């Protein structure tokens, strides 16, 4: 190896160079993003197996608040009551589409979906946070108030 090649290799890697100031976000961005796959898994399971079955997909994606691990399943089951009402009122899920996705820095993300059911369309908003364990669902909201969808 020539001295010039050795010098070029050493110059390319400067151990005294400052570390990137992104808090490690660069490394996290290269990992698979659960927020990208969750809605299709959730809505697909809902369409094929019903909302009660899809609740298990949602449960696995949620951030568990301190102390909630022991009753997480009952929290999700209670949270499914409004979804059951939507399913009863609007009918079976037909299709869904993502209409918006926004990042807040590297730690938070919001995705907005429109769901077509047999008798109507609803809007769903999923808020994710980037935890040490990867992207997790922080909360979600659904509504039928289409006058607010374009704000």
What integer pLDDT is reported at residue 29 of this predicted model? Answer: 41
pLDDT over 70 at 32, yes or no: no
What integer pLDDT is reported at residue 3 of this predicted model? Answer: 42
Q: Rounded to an integer, what distance in angstroms lies between the CA atom of residue 14 and that of residue 4?
A: 16
**Pair 76, 59: CB distance under 8 Å:** yes
Query: Domains in the chain and their CATH numbers?
Result: 32-148 (3.10.450.50)
At 55, is the pLDDT very low, low, confident or very high (cuts 50, 70, 90)?
Answer: confident
Enclosing H/E stretch for 100? strand 93-104
* Residue-wise pLDDT tens digits, 74-109: 656 666 777 788 788 888 899 999 999 999 999 999
Q: Which two tokens stand for residue 23?
A: 């808090």
* Residue-wise pLDDT tens digits, 136-146: 998 888 888 88
Q: Which two tokens stand for residue 128?
A: 């994710």
1-12 exposure pattern, b = at least 16 Cβ within 10 A, e = fewer? eeeeeeeeeeee
Task: Say how many Å lie between the first and final Cα of the chain, rounded.
Answer: 63
């Amino acid at each position: 190896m020539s001295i010039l090649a050795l010098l070029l290799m050493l110059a390319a890697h400067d151990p005294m160079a400052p570390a990137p100031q992104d808090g490690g976000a660069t490394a996290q961005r290269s990992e698979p993003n659960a927020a990208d796959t969750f809605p299709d898994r959730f809505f697909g399971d809902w369409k094929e197996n019903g909302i009660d079955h899809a609740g298990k997909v949602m449960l696995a994606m949620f951030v568990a608040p301190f102390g909630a691990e022991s009753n997480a399943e009952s929290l999700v089951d209670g949270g499914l009551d409004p979804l059951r009402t939507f399913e009863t009122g609007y009918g079976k899920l037909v299709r869904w589409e993502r209409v918006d996705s926004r990042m807040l820095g590297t730690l938070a993300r919001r995705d907005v979906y429109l769901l077509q059911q047999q008798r109507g369309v609803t809007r769903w908003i999923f808020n994710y946070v980037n935890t040490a364990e990867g992207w997790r669902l922080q909360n979600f909201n659904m509504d039928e108030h289409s006058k607010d969808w374009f704000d």
